[in-house]
Chain A
Amino acid sequence: MSSALTAPTLASRWRQRLWRVSPADLDLVVLRHSRIYILPTPRGLAVIATLTIMLLTSMNYALALGYALTFLAGGMVAAALLATFRNLAGLSLSPMVAGEAFAGGCMDFTLSLASGSRDRTGISVAARDGAAVIADLPAGATRPVRVTVPALRRGRLPLGRVTLASDFPLGLWRGWAYVHFPLTASVYPAPEASPPALPTGRQGSEARRAAQPSDAELAGLRDYVNGDPPNRIAWKAVARGAGWYTKQFEGAGGSGALELDWADLPPALDVEVRLSRFTAWILAAEREARAFSMRLPGKELPQGQGAGHRRSALTALALFEP
Chain B
Amino acid sequence: MSTKKAALPLTTAQTYWLAALLLCAQVPLWVNVLPWVAIAGTGLVVARALLPQRSLAAGKSRTVLLPLLALAVAVGIRVQLGYFLARDPCVEFLYVLVGIKFIESRSTRDGTLLICLGLFLAVTQFFYAQTILAALLGLPTLLALGGALAALRGASGQPVSWTAQLAVPARLIVQGIPLAALLFVLFPRLAGPLWGSPADAGARTGLSERMAPGSISELSLSDAVAFRVEFRGTPPAPPDRYWRGPVLARFNGREWSALFRLQTGTFARREGPVIDYTVTLEPHGKLWLFALEHPAALPRPPADDATTAGPLNEIAHLTFDQQLLSRNTVTQTVRYTQRSVLRGSVLAMAGDATDNLQLPRDNARTAAFARELRARVDSDQAYIAAVLDRFHNEPYVYTLAPPLLGQDPVDAFLFDTRRGFCEHYAGAFVLLLRAAGIPARVVTGYQGGEMNPGGGYMIVRQSDAHAWAEALVDGHWQRFDPTAAVAPSRIEGGLGAALPNSDQVPYLARMEMTWFKNLRLHWDAINYGWQRGVVGFNIDRQRDLLSEFGVDNAHPLQLALMIIGMACFWSLAILGISKLRRDSTDEETALWRRACRRLARAGLARRPDEGPLDFADRAALRWPRWSPLLRRIGESYARLHYGPRQAGRAALLAQLRTSVDALPGARQLKTGSG
**Interface positions of A (Cβ within 8 A of B):** 26-28, 30, 41-43, 46-47, 49-51, 53-54, 56-80, 82-83, 85-86, 90, 94-96, 112, 116-118, 122, 124, 126, 132, 134, 136, 165, 167-172, 174
Contact = CB atoms under 8 A, between A and B. Distances in A.
Main secondary structure of the interface of B (DSSP, over half): helix
With most chain B CB atoms within 10 A of its CB, the pick from A63, A68, A75, A126 is: A75
A75 B608 contact: no
With most chain B CB atoms within 10 A of its CB, the pick from A27, A54, A70 is: A27
A73 B145 contact: yes
B180 A71 contact: yes
Nearest to B607: A27
B153 interface: yes
Given A69-B122, A69-B141, A172 B149 contact: yes
Question: How many of chain B's residues touch chain A, expressed as a range?
Answer: 35 or more
A29 to B, nearest CB: 10
A47 B574 contact: no
B535 A64 contact: yes
B581 interface: yes
Interface in B585-642: 585-586, 593, 596, 600, 605-606, 608
Contacts of B537: 64
A54 B120 contact: yes
A173 B180 CA distance: 19
Contacts, number: 204
A183 to B, nearest CB: 10
Contacts of B581: 117
Interface stretch (B34-42, B183-191, B403-411): B183-191
Given A79-B172, A118-B582, 18 more contacts: A30-B593, A43-B6, A46-B112, A50-B119, A53-B120, A58-B126, A62-B332, A64-B535, A64-B536, A68-B184, A73-B119, A75-B175, A79-B175, A96-B608, A136-B156, A168-B153, A170-B150, A174-B1
A112 B608 contact: yes
Contacts of A80: 172
Interface string B145-183: 110011011101100000000001101110111111101
A192 B581 CA distance: 58
B181 to A, nearest CB: 8
B135 interface: yes
Contact of B153 (A28, A69, A171): A171
Nearest to A30: B593
B3 interface: yes
A60 to B, nearest CB: 4
Contact of A72 (B2, B177, B193, B571): B177
17 contacts: A27-B596, A28-B596, A59-B193, A60-B196, A61-B127, A62-B198, A65-B535, A69-B122, A71-B183, A75-B177, A75-B179, A76-B145, A76-B146, A76-B173, A78-B567, A78-B571, A79-B574
A244 to B, nearest CB: 27
B578 interface: yes
Contacts of A85: 575
Contact of B184 (A59, A71, A116): A71
B590 to A, nearest CB: 9
A269 B180 CA distance: 74
B179 A82 contact: no
A60 B153 contact: no
A193 to B, nearest CB: 34
B331 interface: yes
Contacts of B127: 61, 63
Contacts of B220: none
Interface in B93-141: 112-113, 115-116, 119-120, 122-124, 126-127, 130, 134-135, 138, 141
A86 B534 contact: no
B227 to A, nearest CB: 17
A169 B180 contact: no
Nearest to B143: A76
A83 B2 contact: no
Nearest to B578: A86
Given A27-B608, A43-B112, A167-B2, A50 B120 contact: yes
B463 interface: no
A79 B172 CA distance: 5
Given A27-B608, A85-B575, A170-B172, A62 B119 contact: no
A47 B112 CA distance: 8
Given A67-B187, A165-B1, A169-B172, A116 B582 contact: yes
A57 to B, nearest CB: 6
B193 A60 contact: yes
Contacts of A96: 608
